[in-house]
Structure 1
Amino acid sequence: MSAPTSRHPTILEVAREAGASKTSVSRYFGGERERLSPALRQRIGEAARKLGYRPNQIARGLKGGRSRLLGMLVADIRNSYSVAVMHGVEQACREQGYSLLVANTGNDPAQERTHLSLLASYRVEGLMINAAGQPTRELQAMAAQGLPLVLVDRWLEELEADRVGLDNALAVDMAIDHLSAQGYRHLLFLSEPVGLASPRQQRWQRFEQRLSEEPALDGERHDPALDGSAVGALLKAFLARAGRPAAVLCANGNVTLAATRALQALGLSLGEVGLLGIDELDWCSLVPPGITTLAQPTETIGRAAVQQLLARLDDGGAALPPRHTLFSPTLIARGSTRLPATDNDKETP
């Protein structure tokens, strides 16, 4: 007996199983379900599940000019921010009847250019970019061919495109205002190497600007490599110079983790030295007495990126000027920004 051959069920077989026309099944899988009655939609859906039918989106795009695919280029898929934003993107794509193709560059500009070509070959209808390098020329060529683009988190100044991300100046303002209100007077802004990453640049510059405007505060800013003992040595030297009360403002989650480890290694308790991180991570509530963070609305950012792409795909959307959509963070105050009570602060019996 010969082994059974594996093949994919056809759209015609789904139509026969559902007692529907081939046109109705095409509408069901082609984003026109609202033109079908609820009963017919249910029959087609049940027939497709029974037969294990999956539409060939690439072939559909080649035939009809619409792939129903959106692409996303991610600088580092291991980053918790990237994962959270992608979740919002995928949810929005699914709700709108689109599939999502994700390419991870691993912060490698050469890999980034390769993945851009790959995504274009799949005929994505729009592209969201969390840039690792400066692929301005490649993206300008795509935009000139009519491909809608949205920059997520990281801007490319020479590229006229929609932008979605955090209001970085506001985030730094909120952090400094909170630390100042809690009584911290000496501030250290700690970042990963700033380089060309626009969020790091914006946070770095806003910190310097605020210190120049606040005579009651003094501080420093540094962007060391996070490996080895560099962060611990930097913190030790800063605290020796600045004295107390001092606090560390961390530019992202990776820096918050490195600073937490360094403070623990130095035997310093959180709160005695203030610690505030931009980006909320699951473990921040678990490290006693809890780490104060500024949480980004990551799912909202992801959904907004999809919405802006779809607005471009609608009739007339291409004529709209670039839109810049910035979101506010949410302060989650915990014990790491609460100075220990002094003898003068304690109530007398």
Structure 2
Amino acid sequence: MSVRASRHATLLEVAREADASKTSVSRYFGGERERLSPALRQRIGEAARRLGYRPNQIARGLKGGRSRLLGMLVADIRNPYSIAVMHGVEQACREHGYSLLVANTDNDPAQERTHLALLASYRVEGLVVNVAGSPTRELQDMADQGLPLVLLDRWLAEVEADVVGLDNPLAIDMAVDHLRRQGYRNLLFLSEPLGQASPRQQRWQRFEQRLADEPTLYGERRAPPLGGEAVEDVVRDFLARTGRSAALLCANGNVTLAATRALQALGVPLGEVGLLGIDELDWCGLVPPGISTLAQPTEAIGRAAVQHLLARLDDATQPPRRTLYPARLNARGSTRLEGLNDNKEWQ
């Protein structure tokens, strides 16, 4: 029986198969492939595939002090935004010779603390954090121990960490400006309960500032539970009082879905009542006449988070940095003010 079928191949066997030194094979799997010639990289890669060789990254980390692992803590792995950003993080990790460990907290602060300890036990070299709670002490302890941290669209003032995410005030400005240009004058900002999620707080606060600066606009802010009929009740009440040129501005994809269902239940045509959501979801272009969105550059955000971690691994003395991205407006039929009647009443 051959080595391939009977047991795991070793690094030395890969070196012999590729007619290469053990050091060259170690560099190939240790993130230093650029130091090898293209021909040598090809021979080592082909030899590893023939032998079915898989490096033991944890063992390599214990031996050499480098695990080649990056960690990612996600508040809700079911959230389309989290999935999209995670893809960008994973792609960047792969390109730089790292593997990604992901932990999901289900928006549970206790699970946040548990998973942070678990990721630390795997000796991750850096951590991307998208938290729902505020594990400030645990994160600052990690930062004090020299672990590079990037907060993903979250702000924890007490934690020395880089921040990567959406420019939330600019996104609200883009949304309000678009709705105003389209003729909507009565705006209802819908959000999930704010809790400790700083993006929700920033969007909520910026909307309030815009209302104060725009006397021709009337607006309200609501954060009803997304389950049951709570959103429908809030929307019905708002439309009954404003009637004409009303629009709903949704703080994220979950709220956009709830608002769409509410308008459908009320029999309200999209466009006649405006609907604009932050976050582009696949179904937004499929619901007639199309739902306008502000799309986040999730791939760029995920890749930037890894770049920040790698920069900190190279130079841990640099001060925390912040990289914020603008959203992209996808204007569709849900924000085309049509067919309005001054006497329209919503029941």
Mapped partners of 1:73, 1:41: distance in 2? 33
1:35 Cα deviation after fit: 2.2
**In the TM superposition, what are the counterparts of 1:122-201 in structure 2 within 5 Å?**
122-201=122-201
The unaligned stretches of length 5 or more in structure 2 are 343-347
Mapped partners of 2:205, 2:140: distance in 1? 27
Match of 2:35 in 1: 35
1:31 Cα deviation after fit: 1.6
Structure 1 residue 320 and structure 2 residue 318: aligned?
A: yes
**In the TM superposition, what are the counterparts of 1:200-349 in structure 2 within 5 Å?**
200-315=200-315, 318-341=316-339
How big is each residue's C-alpha offset from its partner over 1:297-337, in whole Å with a ceiling of 9 and x where there is no partner? 0000000000000000114xx11111111100000000000
1:203 Cα deviation after fit: 0.4
Mapped partners of 1:5, 1:48: distance in 2? 14
Code of the aligned partner of 2:66: R
Secondary structure of 1:276's counterpart equals strand
Mapped partners of 1:56, 1:293: distance in 2? 44
Mapped partners of 1:272, 1:266: distance in 2? 13
CA RMSD of aligned residues (A): 1.6
1:212 Cα deviation after fit: 0.8
Secondary structure of 2:193's counterpart equals coil
- Note closer, same or farther for the CA distance 1:207–1:342 as it changes in structure 2 (3 Å cut): closer
How big is each residue's C-alpha offset from its partner over 1:125-176, in whole Å with a ceiling of 9 and x where there is no partner? 1000001211100011001110000000121122121000000000000000
How big is each residue's C-alpha offset from its partner over 1:184-225, in whole Å with a ceiling of 9 and x where there is no partner? 010000000111100000000111110011000001100000
Mapped partners of 2:249, 2:199: distance in 1? 15
**In the TM superposition, what are the counterparts of 1:77-92 in structure 2 within 5 Å?**
77-92=77-92
Secondary structure of 1:28's counterpart equals helix
- Note closer, same or farther for the CA distance 1:199–1:343 as it changes in structure 2 (3 Å cut): closer
Code of the aligned partner of 1:338: R
- Note closer, same or farther for the CA distance 1:113–1:343 as it changes in structure 2 (3 Å cut): closer
Match of 2:96 in 1: 96
Cα pair 2:188 2:221 within 8 Å, conserved? yes
Mapped partners of 1:206, 1:36: distance in 2? 52
Mapped partners of 2:227, 2:242: distance in 1? 24
Structure 1 residue 55 and structure 2 residue 68: aligned?
A: no
Secondary structure of 2:114's counterpart equals helix
Code of the aligned partner of 1:16: R
Between 1:194-203 and 1:18-27, the stretch displaced more is 18-27
Cα pair 2:252 2:278 within 8 Å, conserved? yes
Mapped partners of 1:36, 1:75: distance in 2? 40
Mapped partners of 1:225, 1:122: distance in 2? 37
Secondary structure of 1:319's counterpart equals coil
- Note closer, same or farther for the CA distance 1:187–1:284 as it changes in structure 2 (3 Å cut): same
How big is each residue's C-alpha offset from its partner over 1:33-78, in whole Å with a ceiling of 9 and x where there is no partner? 2222222211111110001001000000110111111110000000
1:343 Cα deviation after fit: 9.4
Match of 1:347 in 2: none
TM-score normalised by length of structure 1: 0.95
Secondary structure of 2:192's counterpart equals coil
Cα pair 2:140 2:158 within 8 Å, conserved? no
Mapped partners of 1:6, 1:175: distance in 2? 61
TM-score normalised by length of structure 2: 0.96
Mapped partners of 1:245, 1:288: distance in 2? 19
Code of the aligned partner of 2:83: V
- Note closer, same or farther for the CA distance 1:195–1:14 as it changes in structure 2 (3 Å cut): same
Match of 1:15 in 2: 15
Mapped partners of 1:95, 1:158: distance in 2? 32
- Note closer, same or farther for the CA distance 1:166–1:230 as it changes in structure 2 (3 Å cut): same
